[in-house]
Amino acid sequence: MSKPWIVDDQLWQLLEPLLPPWPAKAPGPRPVPDRQCLQGILYVLHTGIGWEDLPQELGFGSGMTCWRRIKRWTDAGVFDELHRILLAQLNAANELDWSRAVVDGSHIDAKKGGAGTGPSPVNRGKPGSKHHLICDGNGTPIYVLTSGANVPDISRAIDLLDGYPPITGRRGRPSRRFDVLLADKGYDSEAFRQACRERGTQPVIPRRKTNRIKGLGKLRYVVKQSIALLHQFRRLAIRWERRLDIHDSLVSLACALNCWRRLIKSRQQRSC
Q: Among residues 3, 67, 81, 76, which one has the least CA distance to residue 252?
A: 81
Q: What is the pLDDT of residue 22?
A: 81
> 58 and 142, same structural domain?
no
Is there a domain that residue 38 lies in? yes
pLDDT recorded at residue 1:
46
Low-confidence ranges of the chain (pLDDT < 50): 1
Task: Write the CATH number for 135.
Answer: 3.30.420
Region at 125 (left for phi over 0; alpha for psi -120 to 50; beta for the rest):
left
Let me know if residue 171 belongs to a domain: yes
Q: Examine residue 255 and state whether it is found in any structural domain, yes or no.
A: no
H helices of 124-238, in order, are 157-162, 190-198, 216-230, 234-237
Rounded to whole angstroms, the Cα distance separating 124 from 35 reads: 41
* Same-domain check for residues 49 and 130: no
- For residue 54, tell me if it sits in a domain: yes
For 61, residues 6+ apart whose C-beta sits below 8 A from its C-beta are 32, 36, 37, 40
Backbone phi and psi for residue 109, each to the nearest 5 degrees, phi listed first = -75, 145
**Which pLDDT does position 109 carry in this prediction?**
96
Q: What is the pLDDT of residue 26?
A: 64
Same domain, 189 and 70: no
Residue 71 buriedness (CB in 10 A; 0-12 / 13-18 / 19+): middle
- Same domain membership, residue 66 and residue 148: no
Examine the domain organization and report whether 104 and 167 are in the same domain.
yes
The answer to whether residue 173 is domain-embedded is: yes
Q: Does the residue 259 lie in any domain?
A: no
Residue 4: its pLDDT value, please?
83
**Residues 210, 139 share a domain:** yes
Query: Which pLDDT does position 271 carry in this prediction?
Result: 77
Q: What pLDDT is recorded for position 27?
A: 66
Counted domains in the chain: 2
Residues 60 and 166 in one domain: no
Query: Is 136 in the same domain as 171?
Result: yes
Q: Note whether residue 210 is domain-resident.
A: yes
Same domain flag for 214 and 151: yes
SS3 189: coil
Q: Strand locations in the chain, DSSP E?
A: 100-110, 118-119, 127-136, 141-148, 180-182, 202-204, 238-239
**pLDDT tens digits, 195-225:** 999 999 999 999 887 776 666 777 789 999 9
Answer yes or no: do 118 and 177 share one domain: yes
Q: Is residue 191 part of a domain?
A: yes
Q: What does the pLDDT read at residue 215? A: 66
48 and 102 assigned to the same domain = no
Rg (CA), the chain: 19
Domain, as residue range, for 70:
9-20+29-75
Asked if 126 and 219 sit in the same domain, the reply is yes
CA–CA dist 187, 180 (Å, integer)? 14
